[in-house]
Structure 1
Amino acid sequence: MLVSLLLSSLCALQSTPSNTWANLIPRHAVPRRGFPMPKESELLLLLTDRKAEMNERLEALRALAYLDVKVDYLSLTAMRRNLHSDDALISYVRCLARCSEEAHAPMKKYLTHRLPAVRAEAVYGLSKYFEGGRDVARSVLSQPKLHPWQRVAAIRALAEIDLSAAQVEVMRRMNSESGEVALEFLQVLRRDLSDDHIPVLIDLLRQGRSRVTAEAAAMLQHITGYKIGNDYRSWHVAYLQHKAFETPMRAPKISDLELQTVAYMGVPIFSDNICFVLDSSSSMTERMYELRRMTRAMKVIEEFDKMLPILPSSAKFNVVFFESMIRDMYEELTAVTSDSKAYASVFVANNSFTGGTNLYGGIARAFDLEGIEEVIVLSDGDPSVGDYTEPWQIMVELDRLNRWRNIRISSISFSAPRAAESLMYIISAYNAGHFRDID
């Protein structure tokens, strides 16, 4: 089972329940095939089958891009005139990077394309797969005015071809970065965490409360064992004390310090810009296994009301319910105020639980919110309705949506079937999130 395969690579956050798992490995190390999906040979045949429906061929193109499969240059470029959507073009450029040297000149043209995602794919492909790639990556990183996705692509590619060089770039530039670029820099350090990274991570905490500083604090905890949160002064004092006594920065075996964080149903919240994506299907009205007096829906509402009062005033949030239809509380992230918290409590309590399970639609709606940094998704069943219901289709699309954005996705499996549980686990593992299984 996928869960058992990955648990050895994950570590439990000590301040959360024992069945909550935190992903501390970078995305590249997470298996892409944790569920049944078409074979590469079948996808390649479908891609070149001119008798097949074009939407089927484009789906094959997206899957091949996700799997990072090498595609014949002539077969791929024959499809170019049929790419009438931005999403298809993004997958095309991603596959083009895996072609032969013939693709080098076409790839360079996409460096100036109007779409940031296309430019990012061009940067990544040229940096990773072609001669002179290190120079391309370093050049992009030295231009702070370029779109953040291009810089994310550059450091990710450099890390995959020369991790040492990438970590040098990260150590040089970390304190001048923010947002998705800073989060990608942290992913690069996470590939080979060491005591050398402690001063840089502590300096990051000067920025104040943000998802970047929360992630940095979690990494510091992982290295040192100290559970101080994201308080810069406390970390700095602890670092100076160990430096003065020339001892490794490690917490005492018995420590009264405890990392405290806002959490929903045991899943910690790292960001001030968060959306709760909650299953609203009819199966949520079933009673819980251990608490027979409560349905799953009642438990969701109860835990939401417990969490609302401790949301920080600096945060923005939203709630999305998904079943056969998608319903959101607001059209955008809204500030945490007494009024918005009161309305959220009523919105969640008055929800009707009915219909099927449109898991992808709920997550995709959250991704449409401007400024979104973190998503917590809760579901109790297999995806059954919507544009994508097969696990591999959902993973392919989420990979496309979040390839350069570094949005954190945590998930809660609420007595879900094994296949759905595995899907939610891999979604969290692949997107730097936490996973919790509730029976």
Structure 2
Amino acid sequence: MIKINNQFPFSCSFPIDLDKDKHGIFYIHFNSFFDSDVFASYRGFSTEGNYIQNVICEMNTNDDRKIEVLWTVEKNDEGILLPIKFSTKKEDDLLILKDKAQEEITNALVSVINAKETTQFFREKYHYFGNPLHGEYYLPGGFRIAPAYTMQEEYIEMDGQKYFNSTHGEHVLYIDHEVSGFNSMHIHEKRKVNSSVYAALISLFLDINLFIPTSEERWVISYDTGERASRKMNLGYADDHLTINRMPKKGTEVSSGALRLVDRTVVEIESTGYHLKCPKDIRKLVRTYSNLNDAEKKKYFNAAKFYQISLDIGRRYPSAGMSYQISAIDILNTKHTAQEYKKLVLQYFPYEIDEEYVMYLYQNVRSAHFHEGIFPGGENQIGAGLNALIQLEKYPNIIRDTKVICKNVLINWLLSKSSE
């Protein structure tokens, strides 16, 4: 990028005078001016970590000459645009085109100011392992979660009662939400962000490993011919609901889900026959997240995302799962030191806990796994070494304990921000 800028030594800058939430919209409108006459476009990051886009294109002068110019767009990690830089190879060209460049900026600003939002409905499908969701839940912020199907085919009857026969199997739920934006690109960018936030929060609050399955063929055991056989088949769930384009009315697809009081100080063992139900404080949790300031919201989303990842990767690699959970707590640790991490755990874990144990999780689990390749969960016993096996005997419930500590700290930290 330095070499490109050296080719265009004469420049001027145009500040973007817009509210913070409109900078992303301006960027989309401004980029639409580059649909044609683009010679090259380069994207990367500055030494400060800002995103940079360099676009080389042609501009017409009033006497119909074409002049090669360079636009440099830079935005920080919060999506705020720095003044847009306009550069030319000759000083005279800059003088000739400066007003026209300002006009391009003004046109994009006017497009943003005059733009009207439209709203679209989206239904996202997420998979998880555990019990089927009890019913639909309409949550603050305008989104809904519901089971993708009724599970009727998985009932068994015992002593006159119906139970589910698939406790730890794979299930599918919908995340329904509406997204408003100024054009299709803006709407789909917001859709991607919003659905990721909802999935992370639901993974944490319901303690389920929400994931989107990869598109691939896997070996399965089939009885289609009446005999047991192995076949390669595509992963995925074929939706049996009609395509809809608006938020469904309550009770039209499934009944409302019940709420339950959750004891977060224990790892609850899923039992055959029970539904997955939202905790009684689910709406309070979602509202509190929505009311966080931007910095806290970003930090909490990252922590919830780490917890979501931990549940998924932890099914196969418990050490990685534990390390992600401890790191999720550390995201809320503003100083990122071991002592501050310990203070955070002691403050938000509701029961007395051994400080040595807390530090062991931080240093001998998280740091040892990420920095030394140690597997303190015992799944790679040769790589873990004798000392790790000894420690595993010392802390036999470490996998369970780590999850309980992480879940409590993350949720209690959020509840401490509530004004309710």
The TM-score normalised by the length of structure 1 is 0.23
Point out the structure with max Rg over C-alpha.
2
The TM-score normalised by the length of structure 2 is 0.24
* Larger strand percent: 2
> Which structure is richer in relative contact order (CA contacts within 8 A, separation 6 or more)?
1
